[in-house]
C-alpha cells in the first residue's frame, strides 16, 4: 500500500512546522474528526439509524428538525466535551451555549457548529454535511456565555466541514491553505486526497434559489439576468445554474471546479437580514473560501469582518470565485449610490397594465 497521510498525521506534521505548536488544538480537531466519522455512519444508515415513526420537531431557528439532526448534534457534543480542550459550544440545534459538565476539564477553545447542514435532503438521499468553527475563548473564561462567542470570523483559529455523499470527506483550514481528506472506510481514517485546494478566479457556474427571484434586490437581479442571457448577453458566455439546498455541497463544488453560491438578502422575510447563520455557517465557509483563493461577502461587507450580535444571527452570503463575488459587490455599491440598474429582459421588468411612452 502506498504511503498515505492521515488526518492525524497531517495535524502532527503541521504542529511540527509551527513556531508555536498547539497540542490542544490538535486534540480538539481529532475529536471533531471522530465525531464526523460517527455522523457519516449514522447518515449512511438513514432511517435504519433509529426507530421509525419519530415525529419531526422544530428547532430554535423555527425550522423542522429531523431525527438525524438531533442524533448528529448529540454525537458532536459527546465526542468533544470530555477532551479538556473546550470550555463551551454553540450549535444550530441549541438555543443557548452548551456548558461543559463540571467533572470535565476546561480548555481554551470554543466550538460553533451546524451538526447536519442540508438536512432537508436526508429523505431524498442527497448530500449533507457538518460545518464547524473554532475560536479562542477570552482569557480567564471557563464558563462562557453567548457574548463570548460573538467574535468576528477573522478570529477563527480553524474551520472546516465534513461532506457525507458517495464518499465522506473532511475539508479543513488552519489559516494557511485548505486541505481535503477522504474517509477510507476500510481502515476508518480520513486520508489526505486534496492538498492545497484552490478556487479558480473565473467561473461559468452559479447557484441560487431562483424561486425567490421576486424577492431579490436589484443588484442580484442584474447579475442573474446577465448570466442567463449567456452568449447573447453582456457576459458573452453561457452559464450553468446549480442548486442543491445544502451549503456544504455547494461550497465543495466551488472548491473543486469553481463557481458562485448566493443566498442573498431579500424581502421574503423582512425581519431577517439574511438566511444563513453567521457563526457556524457563513464564517467557517468564508474562511475556507478565502484560504482557497476565493472571496466571501454579504454584498456590502466582507463576511469575516462582520461583528456578530447574536449566536444565531443570520446574514446574506455571496461566496466563491473571486471575480464573480467582486462583480456582485460592485453592483451593490452602485445600487446603494442610487445609480439606476436598467433591466432589458421581460423576466425582470416591472409589470404594469399600462404602456408608457
pLDDT at 216: 94
Kindly state the cell numbers that stand for 85. 480542550
β 240-242/260-263 pair status: unpaired
Domain boundaries, the chain: 7-194, 205-336
pLDDT at 56: 55
Q: Of 29-38, 42-51, 241-250, 253-262, which gets the smallest average pLDDT?
A: 42-51
**pLDDT for residue 58 is more than 70:** no
343 band by pLDDT with thresholds 50, 70 and 90: very low
Mean pLDDT of 169-175: 97
**pLDDT for residue 8 is more than 80:** yes
CATH number 3.40.190.80 given to 205-336: yes
| CA–CA distance, 286 with 292 (Å, rounded to integer) | 10
Distances (CA, A) of 88 to 153, 209, 270, 295: 17, 34, 32, 29
- Given a contact cutoff of 8 angstroms between Cβ atoms, the answer to whether 214 and 347 are in contact is no
pLDDT at 66: 82
Residues above pLDDT 70, as percent of the chain: 89
Which CATH architecture describes the domain 7-194? 2-Layer Sandwich (3.30)
Q: Which DSSP helix (H) or strand (E) runs through 91?
A: strand 86-91
- Does the pTM surpass 0.85? The reply is yes
| CA–CA distance, 309 with 150 (Å, rounded to integer) | 6
Q: Of 61-70, 157-166, 233-242, 294-303, which gets the smallest average pLDDT?
A: 61-70
| CA–CA distance, 319 with 254 (Å, rounded to integer) | 9
Residues above pLDDT 90, as percent of the chain: 75
Q: Which residue has the cell 429523505?
A: 123
Q: Of 139-143, 147-151, 346-350, which gets the smallest average pLDDT?
A: 346-350
pLDDT at 48: 67
59 band by pLDDT with thresholds 50, 70 and 90: low
**pLDDT for residue 78 is more than 90:** yes
Identify the residue with better confidence: 167 or 357: 167
pLDDT at 345: 45
pLDDT at 228: 94
15 band by pLDDT with thresholds 50, 70 and 90: confident
Amino acid at each position: 500500500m502506498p504511503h498515505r497521510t492521515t488526518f492525524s498525521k497531517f495535524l502532527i506534521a503541521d504542529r511540527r512546522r509551527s513556531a508555536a505548536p498547539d497540542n490542544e488544538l490538535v486534540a480538539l480537531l481529532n475529536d471533531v474528526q471522530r465525531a464526523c466519522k460517527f455522523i457519516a455512519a449514522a447518515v449512511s444508515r438513514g432511517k435504519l439509524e433509529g426507530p421509525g415513526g419519530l415525529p419531526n420537531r422544530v428547532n430554535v431557528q423555527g425550522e423542522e428538525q429531523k431525527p438525524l439532526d438531533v442524533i448528529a448534534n448529540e454525537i458532536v457534543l459527546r465526542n468533544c466535551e470530555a477532551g479538556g480542550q473546550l470550555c463551551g459550544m454553540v450549535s444550530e440545534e441549541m438555543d443557548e451555549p452548551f456548558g461543559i459538565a463540571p467533572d470535565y476539564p476546561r480548555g481554551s477553545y470554543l466550538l460553533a457548529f451546524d451538526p447536519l447542514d442540508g438536512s432537508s435532503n436526508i429523505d431524498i438521499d442527497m448530500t449533507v454535511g457538518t460545518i464547524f468553527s473554532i475560536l479562542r475563548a477570552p482569557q480567564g473564561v471557563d464558563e462562557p456565555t453567548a457574548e463570548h462567542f460573538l467574535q468576528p470570523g477573522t478570529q477563527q483559529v480553524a474551520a472546516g466541514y465534513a461532506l457525507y455523499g458517495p464518499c465522506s470527506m473532511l475539508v479543513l483550514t488552519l489559516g494557511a491553505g485548505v486541505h481535503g481528506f477522504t474517509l477510507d472506510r476500510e481502515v476508518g481514517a480520513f486520508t489526505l486526497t486534496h492538498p492545497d485546494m484552490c478556487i479558480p478566479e473565473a467561473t461559468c457556474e452559479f447557484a441560487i434559489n431562483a424561486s425567490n427571484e421576486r424577492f431579490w434586490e436589484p443588484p442580484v437581479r442584474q447579475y442573474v439576468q446577465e448570466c442567463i442571457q449567456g452568449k447573447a448577453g453582456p457576459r458573452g458566455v453561457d452559464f450553468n445554474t446549480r442548486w442543491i439546498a445544502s451549503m456544504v455541497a455547494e461550497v465543495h463544488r466551488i472548491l473543486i471546479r469553481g463557481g458562485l453560491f448566493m443566498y442573498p438578502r431579500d424581502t421574503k422575510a423582512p425581519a431577517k437580514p439574511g438566511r444563513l447563520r453567521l457563526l457556524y455557517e457563513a464564517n467557517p465557509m468564508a474562511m475556507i473560501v478565502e484560504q482557497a483563493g476565493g472571496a466571501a461577502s454579504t454584498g456590502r461587507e466582507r463576511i469575516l469582518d462582520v461583528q456578530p450580535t447574536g449566536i444565531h444571527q443570520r446574514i446574506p452570503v455571496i461566496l466563491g470565485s473571486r471575480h464573480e463575488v467582486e462583480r456582485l459587490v460592485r453592483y451593490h455599491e452602485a445600487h446603494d449610490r442610487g445609480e439606476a440598474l436598467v433591466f432589458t429582459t421581460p423576466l425582470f421588468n416591472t409589470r404594469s397594465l399600462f404602456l408608457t411612452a
